[in-house]
């Protein structure tokens, strides 16, 4: 099936630790996005990439890093500099940045602090 796979589903982080969330897609979409969702709130954009080897900061990029070495993959690292990382993280894709098509979302990773 074509889709977006996020792993792991649940992740726990210790103080001072970096953790990486995986997002893989087989939709052949150019653009990929990372959003953060806090309880009772909408999604906020962390980083996005519209083409391989290029990415831009979203509204809340501090304490996060990304890479886009392959079209299919857009991993997000939550660094120790992110002091409040507990949230639900969602990855999304879009066929191309000029597209007037809806974004596709993965099933998310829930990150908690130990």
Partner 1 sequence: KQEVTQIPAALSVPEGENLVLNCSFTDSAIYNLQWFRQDPGKGLTSLLLIQSSQREQTSGRLNASLDKSSGRSTLYIAASQPGDSATYLCAVGPQGGKLIFGQGTELSVKP
Question: What are the residues binding partner 1 (CB under 8 A)?
Answer: 4, 6, 31, 33, 35, 40-45, 48, 50, 58, 88, 90, 92, 94, 97-108, 110
| Complex with partner 1: residue 17 or 62, whichever CB lies closer | 62
Please, which residues have CB within 8 angstroms of residue 42's CB and are 6 or more apart in sequence? none
CA distance 114 to 112: 7
Provide the minimum distance between the beta carbon of 102 and partner 1 in the complex, in angstroms, as a whole number: 4
Give yes or no for a contact between 77 and 20, defined as CB atoms under 8 angstroms apart.
yes
- Residue 16 has a CB neighbour count (10 Å cut-off) of 7
| Complex with partner 1: residue 30 or 80, whichever CB lies closer | 30
- Residue 40 has a CB neighbour count (10 Å cut-off) of 5
Provide the minimum distance between the beta carbon of 37 and partner 1 in the complex, in angstroms, as a whole number: 9
Provide the minimum distance between the beta carbon of 106 and partner 1 in the complex, in angstroms, as a whole number: 5
Provide the minimum distance between the beta carbon of 10 and partner 1 in the complex, in angstroms, as a whole number: 10
| Complex with partner 1: residue 16 or 42, whichever CB lies closer | 42
**Per-residue exposure over 86-113, b if at least 16 CB sit within 10 Å of its own CB, e if not:** ebebbbbbbbeeeeeeebbbbebbebee
| Complex with partner 1: residue 17 or 28, whichever CB lies closer | 28
């Amino acid at each position: 099936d074509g889709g977006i796979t996020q792993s792991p589903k649940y992740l726990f982080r210790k103080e001072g630790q970096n953790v990486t969330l995986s997002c893989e897609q087989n939709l052949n979409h150019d653009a990929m996005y990372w959003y953060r969702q806090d309880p009772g709130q909408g999604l906020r954009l962390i980083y996005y990439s519209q083409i391989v080897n290029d990415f831009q900061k979203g509204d809340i990029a501090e304490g996060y890093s990304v890479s886009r070495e392959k079209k299919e993959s857009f991993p997000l690292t939550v660094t120790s500099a992110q002091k409040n990382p507990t949230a639900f993280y969602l990855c999304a894709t879009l066929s191309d940045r000029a597209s007037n098509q809806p974004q596709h979302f993965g099933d998310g990773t829930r990150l908690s602090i130990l």
